[in-house]
Amino acid sequence: MKNVSPCVACPRFGLGFCHAVLGGADDLAREAGESWQHHRIVAAGKQIVARNQETPDVFVLCGGWGFRFLQLADGRRQILGFLLPGDLFSVASVFEERFHFSVKALTTVQISTMRRSEVQLRLKSPPVVMALAKACSQEAESSDRIIATLGRCSAEERIAFLLLHLMKRIAAHNVIRDQRYPFPLRQQHIADAVGLTSVHVSRVLGTFRDRGIVELSNGVLRVGNLPDLKHLGSLN
């Protein structure tokens, strides 16, 4: 008897790229145990893929948080984006064998790897093409907004933008009560994402706390004044 794919129990299975590629529950039941898709757990802080690494697989984050980054020669790190459940590591990975960035697990994560050749065969299906096009559009829009923020915004505006961006994404995965968001980022992650030092981030977050805008403590982001946060971080 074949094993049942973990995708059957995934709360996001009916959405996005995975559903388009894998099909419905009946398809999963037929294909469970075949060699083109695998799942594994990666511990927090472990690197999942390295820059310039070649792989025959397309990666999807199933659970937990990860992040994409570039490491400079002097050790400095630029976080390119945070990965949440359902995210492709990169749309380009559907076509390219080599990653131009590295990926690390922020929390303990579950990942799915799908053989690229099989995914490409399924691009004959219009739903798969549309799902990939949507993911590509979202990735491009996010990159454009981040570039604008890093290039033109103050430290307060950069951090506020990042918080708003992640709050929206977190709310799509979780029931949010009392404006409290699960938020596993440390100050260094925020610093590396917005191009600031950890000390500068600490100072800005302290200002936000004193002004009653947000407070980050013990892995929870509590929003006290959403209008002020939006005033600082929204791109109009």
∠30-33-98 over CA atoms, to 5°? 110
Bridge-partner residues for 103, per DSSP? Answer: 49, 68
H helices within the chain, ranges in order?
16-22, 25-31, 116-121, 126-152, 155-171, 187-194, 198-210, 226-233
Q: Looking at 13-17, 73-77, 82-86, 107-111, which range is the least confident one?
A: 13-17
Query: Is the predicted pLDDT of residue 198 greater than 50, yes or no?
Result: yes
Q: What is the mean pLDDT of residues 152-160?
A: 97
Q: Please compute the mean of the pLDDT values over residues 213-236 and round it to a whole number.
A: 95
Confidence of residue 92 (pLDDT cuts 50, 70, 90): very high
The arithmetic mean of pLDDT across residues 104-124, rounded, is: 95
